[in-house]
Amino acid sequence: MQQFFIKNGLVVIGGAIQGLGMGLFLFPQSIPSGGAGGIAILLNYITGISMGPSLWIVNFSMLLLGVQILGKRFALWTFLGITMTSLSVDFFETHFTLVHRHVFLDLVIGSILLGTGIGILMRQGVSNGGVGVIAFMISTGRNILPGKPLFFLNAFIFLITAAIISWKIIFLALLSQWISTTMVDLICRLEIPQPYALSWRKKP
């Protein structure tokens, strides 16, 4: 029971940190946080649905794809993570505004927070939702760190998003992904004894 509450707390914390990076730093600058963020920005651009609900819809849709392969327990924990992330995004977008903004500082800070949150989730065997579900399946199946597949999947969606909205965002999006996926791998490599933690090791 204690291990359950520890994992639950870490999933909530990971989702909240991820949402903080997205809602307070990345989304206000129209920088996609990832593949799901890119699709959510498209939904917001096309339909006017706010970013929090848009992100939840995209993440939940992707999660349905992974249930059969990764199991119901994985799906339930990931559902908690993506719900916490969406609530966090909506909270910080609604209640906090940075007066003096700089796009590069927002990108760096937001990407570090994003990667930290995703890394915490993945150490607990939980995906951050969206294309992270697919990246998680690839990383567990091939026993590799999740950062690289996550980067390439997200980059593909960024190209589509940039083609529809603006090509100016592609550089910022790719730089953000490089920073955040580097943080994901860094968090996953940390040797911190904890219940339910995954041991990510590259194949020799």
Q: What tokens appear for 63 in the block?
A: 């999660």
Cα 53 vs. chain centroid, distance in angstroms? 15
Q: Are 100 and 166 in contact (CB under 8 A)?
A: no
Q: Of 124, 160, 136, whose CA–CA distance to 39 is shortest?
A: 160
Distances (CA, A) of 174 to 74, 109, 136, 143, 177: 28, 15, 20, 24, 5
Q: Of 182, 110, 94, 127, whose CA–CA distance to 14 is shortest?
A: 127
What is the predicted pLDDT for the residue at 197? Answer: 46
Q: Where are the domains of the chain?
A: 2-189
Question: pLDDT tens across 122-175, in order?
Answer: 888 887 777 878 887 888 778 888 788 888 888 888 888 778 777 777 788 889
What's the pTM? 0.78
Q: Residue 15: helix, strand or coil by DSSP?
A: helix
Distances (CA, A) of 126 to 14, 66, 103, 120, 140: 10, 12, 30, 9, 11
Residue pLDDT tens, the chain, 204 long: 788 899 999 999 999 999 999 999 998 887 877 778 778 878 888 888 887 788 788 878 877 777 777 778 888 888 898 889 889 988 998 898 888 889 999 999 999 999 999 999 988 888 777 787 888 788 877 888 878 888 888 888 888 877 877 777 778 888 998 999 899 999 988 876 544 444 545 444
What is the predicted pLDDT for the residue at 172? Answer: 87
Distances (CA, A) of 75 to 51, 59, 152, 173: 22, 11, 23, 27
For the beta carbon of residue 100, count every other beta carbon within 10 angstroms: 5
What is the predicted pLDDT for the residue at 21? Answer: 95
